[in-house]
Amino acid sequence: MSKLLNVSSSPHVRDQVTTQNIMLDVAIAMIPASAYGVYQFGVKAALILLISVLSCVLSEYVFESLMGKPITVSDGSALVTGMILGLNMPPAIPLWIPFLGGVFAIIVVKMLYGGLGQNFMNPALAARCFLLISFAGKMTDFTYSDAVAGPTPLAALKAGEAVNLTSMFIGKISGTIGEVSVIALLVGAAYLLFRKVISITIPAAYLITFAVFVFIFGQHDLTYVLTHLCGGGLIFGAFFMATDYVTSPITPKGQILFGILLGVLTGLFRLFGGSAEGVSYAIIISNILVPLIEKISIPVAFGKEGK
């Protein structure tokens, strides 16, 4: 109570939670998906995750050292970026590609814009989209000798083939390292919600809007909708990437609008676009529109000149 009586500049009451605490919780929440990815795809998946993390951490350290800036790798943000990037990689990807992606994510998307808090889009997803454009063949090759081979469930669904919803939920499917097991992702999401690192607003608005969109413009079938919800990294994106503090709105109404925009864009890309996925592009496009969303959703001041 005595701290509240101190005269100082705002903010007058500060939370004890630090950036390092938050990033550590996010990293812990991704452990189930990472562990299952390594179990599913083998040692190569662990190497991809390791390379992605090392690339991001080293890029941040080297850049800040050369620029004479304070070293911030201990805050854990580079670790989280590396894990997200690695979990978005196909299990058979050459190791130099996630390394290049880590350099792009940290140097181009994060550090050149001023570091943590200044980047205008999610660094890991921006790097993934950069790699998808630059190395489309390797980034969409999900065959792996030690795991399930063949097209991803959404690619099969788009081609009119039958998919196994139970296998998607468990994770016995083709896909990127971190998106295959819905169970593992939901365990991590539950941890983030329990720790109050994220709120349910953006994921709920995202998933509900997407489900309604797919039901209206896709097939009026519950299994079809659930297949879309469980595939293509939608759960991963909704809980771990769309909720990024820096690139998502801070206003309550803005978060709902953000989630709705994500759901509509993802539905448009999946149902009417050439790709069966769409989550990554939907999130980074929505990231760019966050300033506009916050401008139209900012609460009106109470009192003079307000309502």
Tokens of 22: 């938050």
For 212-240, b/e burial (b = at least 16 CB within 10 A) is ebbbeebeeeeebbbbbbbbbbbbbbbbb
Q: What is the pLDDT of residues 227-253, one digit of tens each?
A: 989 987 899 999 999 999 999 999 999
Conformational region of residue 115, where left means phi above 0, alpha means psi within -120 to 50, and beta covers everything else: left
CATH of domain 19-297: 1.10.3430
Summary count for the chain: helices (H), strands (E): 16, 0
pLDDT at 99: 97
Summarised one tens digit per residue, pLDDT across range 264-285 is 999 999 988 877 788 999 999 9
Phi then psi dihedrals of residue 18, to 5 deg: -110, 165
What's the rounded mean pLDDT across residues 25-37? 96
What per-residue string of b and e applies to 50-85 under the rule 16 or more CB within 10 Å gives b? Answer: ebbbbbbbbbbeebbeeeeeeebbebbbbbbbbbbb
pLDDT at 118 > cutoff 80: yes
Structure confidence at residue 19 as a pLDDT band (50, 70, 90): confident
**For range 81-92, the mean pLDDT:** 95
Widest CA span in the chain: 67
The answer for residues whose C-beta is within 8 angstroms of residue 72's C-beta and 6 or more apart is: 60, 64, 115, 116
Calpha distance 106→41 (Å, rounded) = 27
What integer pLDDT is reported at residue 274 of this predicted model?
Answer: 76
Bin 175: left if φ > 0, else alpha if -120 < ψ < 50, else beta.
left
From residue 102, give the alpha-carbon distance in Å to each of 50, 86, 125, 142, 250: 11, 9, 11, 20, 27
Alpha helix segments (H runs only) across 68-200: 77-87, 96-103, 123-134, 136-139, 153-158, 165-170, 182-194
Compute the distance between CA of residue 76 and CA of residue 98 in angstroms, rounded to an integer: 18
Q: Which of 42-56, 99-113, 150-164 has the lowest mean pLDDT?
A: 150-164
* CA pair distance 76, 32, nearest whole angstrom: 18
- Tell me what pLDDT residue 156 has: 77
Whether the CB-CB separation of 124 and 102 falls below 8 Å is answered with no
Cα–Cα distance for residue pair 83/81, rounded to 1 Å: 6
8: pLDDT strictly greater than 70: no
pLDDT, average across residues 199-217: 96
**H/E/C letters for each residue in 44-86?**
HHHHHHHHHHHHHHHHHHHHHHHHCCCCCHHHCHHHHHHHHHH
Please tell me what DSSP assigns to residue 302: S
Report helix, strand or coil for 10.
coil
**For residue 267, what pLDDT is reported?**
94
